[in-house]
Amino acid sequence: MYRRANMKETNKEARAIQMEQQKKLTQAEKLSRSQNGRTLKDDHNRIRSITVGFRVSPEENELINAEVAISGLSKQEYCYRRCLNQDVVVKGNPRVYKALKDQLGNVLIQLKRLVSVDAASPELFQLIHLIATVMGGLEKDPEINENIF
């Protein structure tokens, strides 16, 4: 009569071999074998393995999202550049123009509901200044269509 091998013993042995192999892998190798499709390396081929997070108010979140949309960058890349005090270069493309149009529409709605200039929030003035800076930069050199803020 045929006798089957004990599956529990086989699984234990396989797990032990796998654990030994995992111990030998460095942190970089583990990250490079990651199954998700996210970019794990930066421009200098360094592995991004640390997460940084912070809390913001709803108003600050809206302002950050508006600036990210206007920049044309991903939120992650925008935050890297701002935190590391690097220039954020806005290149004119359809995505940037649509974001500018949307933000100008939002500003117009907020301006229409204001009774006086004193009632305007500082965030609104900051957003208007940002839009003016980007629009001014895009107008100056239409061939390059870049602006730094």
Assess contact for 48 and 41: CB atoms under 8 A: yes
Residues 15 and 81 in one domain: no
Q: What is the pLDDT of residues 20-47, one digit of tens each?
A: 776 666 555 655 555 555 556 777 777 8
Q: What is the pTM of this model?
A: 0.56
Range of the domain at 65: 58-148
Number of independent structural domains in the chain: 2
Residues 31 and 66 in one domain: no
Q: What is residue 93's predicted lDDT score, i.e. its pLDDT? A: 82
Residues 44 and 98 in one domain: no
Assess contact for 121 and 62: CB atoms under 8 A: no
Residues 69 and 33 in one domain: no
Residues 114 and 73 in one domain: yes
Which segments of the chain are extended strands (E)? Answer: 89-91, 146-148
Under 8 Å CB-to-CB from 103, ≥6 apart: which residues?
A: 66, 69, 70, 127, 131
Q: What is the pLDDT of residues 72-120, one digit of tens each?
A: 888 988 998 899 888 888 887 888 888 888 989 988 998 888 887 777 8
Assess contact for 45 and 55: CB atoms under 8 A: no
Residues 76 and 121 in one domain: yes
Residues 106 and 123 in one domain: yes
**Which residue in 127, 91, 124, 94 sits closest to 110, CA to CA?**
124
Residue 50 carries which side chain, given as an amino acid letter?
A: I
Residues 100 and 41 in one domain: no
Residues 65 and 128 in one domain: yes
Residues 126 and 69 in one domain: yes
